[in-house]
Structure 1
Amino acid sequence: MCRSAARPAPSGRPRTWVVGAQDRCAEPRAPQGRVEDEGHPVTCFDHRIAALIALDGVYDLGDMAIDLLSLDRAEAERRLRADRDPELDAAVDAAVAAGPKIRWVVDQGMYVMGADTPRGLFATFLDYHLRDGIAQKVTCPTLVCSAADDVFFEGQPELLHEHLTCPKTLLEFTDVLGADAHCQAGAQRLAFARVYDWLDDVLTESA
């Protein structure tokens, strides 16, 4: 999930966007600064935003689908988006039945993304990425959080941090702090304290 705070609007009222994994935002046209488009966060295009927090950072959600299904990118694009692929459907169903990790991803993901089938869910994952120069469009200071034992997005925060060209900070949470799980589950008081300390510093500097 990404949370972003905007600089005050001309009226003096602050504007705040919360950009989650299910939000697909592009160049803002609506008053709230978000429209449905290609899976890109609004912070890539709306430069009024003062700060961005990626908790935890994700560069390419499609990588998770590819890793879980043991497909390469080209094969994933072709088979996940196909009208029919009974063989892959059966493989996904078998994987869901065999492991709690992928079962949770599918159950929760289908609800959040509004997908009709497990394969359809993984197909939507391919649309959520910051490749092709999109990450470089972020201009505001960005905090990228990383959990050492994130079972879903291992390596993704580091990829995002690597591709950002804005002022950026990589904040790592480890097992020593008991904060190494995905989104620092079990240690969120510590995580939020560090996140809001960073945000306080950034917004104070830009005031």
Structure 2
Amino acid sequence: MLGAAGATARGYDCLTFDGPGQGYALWKQQLTFRPDWEHVVTPVVDFALGRPGVDPKRIAIQGISQAGYWVPRAVAFEKRIAAAIVDPGVCDVSKSWTATLPPPMIELLKAGRKDEFDGNLNKMLDPATKKSVAFRMRPYGVTSYFDAFKATMAYNLMDVAGKIECPMLITEPANEAFWPGQSRQLYDLLSCPKTLIPFSASDGADLHCEPAAYGLRDLRVFNWLDETLGAI
């Protein structure tokens, strides 16, 4: 998984898991996304603390892509985590869904006109896009376009970001495709110790999750984590 190789190269022990809506949890256990990710992370922390050699004062968590929402949500309530990393920051998951909707479709969504919304979108989408949207809907556990778009609106940090206490690093890649501007937005919402690390096209480290520059990404992220945990 992204970041784990860089972490183990630094000497960190890594615990990875499939949360609801991801990998084995989705395909085999039929567990779908949930916005209250603290109820996912707290059992993971419990498990980690039962492992030999785990320092309870130096547990860090890293969230990639949409986990840029889940990790801040979790640490807003799970206080045993000493440091958090998100790549990128995500304040409002729904923006990646609604950004390309025409204004009349946004109005149907706001008005709760499900049948009209589903019917119109079904006409608007070509077959390939329908398959792509269906794939993205499955983790939410819904089959209606309207229900999927409405479900994403529950994934919002505006009311909980102020509860975060642990130090947080937020990456800010240039040309972010899914949640542009939200890394800075999350940074501004936080009152905890915080760091915003930009990644630029000139570094070859732009785009969502810095796909062409994992080495540079890991260098900056784990330099920060070394310093942050070293101060504890």
Question: When the two structures are superposed, what TM-score results if normalisation uses the length of structure 1?
Answer: 0.72
The CA distance in 2 between the partners of 1:65 and 1:89, in whole Å, is: 14
Residue 110 of structure 1 corresponds to 137
Residue 65 of structure 1 corresponds to 97
2:73–2:161 contact (8 Å) kept in structure 1: no
The unaligned stretches of length 5 or more in structure 1 are 4-13
Amino acid corresponding to residue 89 of structure 1 in structure 2: D
The CA distance in 2 between the partners of 1:183 and 1:57, in whole Å, is: 10
2:90–2:182 contact (8 Å) kept in structure 1: yes
Q: Deviation of residue 144 (structure 1)?
A: 0.8
Amino acid corresponding to residue 122 of structure 2 in structure 1: D
Change (3 A) 1:47 1:179: same
Residue 187 of structure 1 corresponds to 213
Change (3 A) 1:191 1:26: closer
Q: Name the SS for the 1:184 alignment partner.
A: coil
Q: Name the SS for the 1:110 alignment partner.
A: helix
Q: Deviation of residue 41 (structure 1)?
A: 1.9
Residue 148 of structure 2 corresponds to 121
2:64 paired with 1:53:
no
Residue 172 of structure 2 corresponds to 146
Q: Name the SS for the 2:198 alignment partner.
A: strand
Q: Deviation of residue 108 (structure 1)?
A: 4.0
Residue 25 of structure 1 corresponds to 36
Share of identical aligned residues, percent? 28
Amino acid corresponding to residue 58 of structure 1 in structure 2: V
Change (3 A) 1:24 1:157: same
The CA distance in 2 between the partners of 1:107 and 1:95, in whole Å, is: 14
Question: When the two structures are superposed, what TM-score results if normalisation uses the length of structure 2?
Answer: 0.65
Change (3 A) 1:110 1:165: same
Change (3 A) 1:114 1:56: same
Change (3 A) 1:110 1:26: closer
* Mean CA deviation greater in 15-24 or 156-165: 15-24
The unaligned stretches of length 5 or more in structure 2 are 4-12, 22-32, 47-69
CA offset digits 1:149-171 (Å, max 9, x no partner): 01111111111011011000111
2:100 paired with 1:89:
no
CA RMSD of aligned residues (A): 3.4
Q: Deviation of residue 148 (structure 1)?
A: 1.1
The CA distance in 1 between the partners of 2:211 and 2:205, in whole Å, is: 7
Tell me which of 199, 211, 220 is aligned to 1:173.
199
Change (3 A) 1:41 1:197: same
1:23–1:41 contact (8 Å) kept in structure 2: no
Change (3 A) 1:107 1:93: same
The CA distance in 1 between the partners of 2:212 and 2:137, in whole Å, is: 25
Change (3 A) 1:70 1:51: farther
Q: Name the SS for the 1:131 alignment partner.
A: coil
The CA distance in 1 between the partners of 2:84 and 2:111, in whole Å, is: 33
| Corresponding residue pairs, total | 183
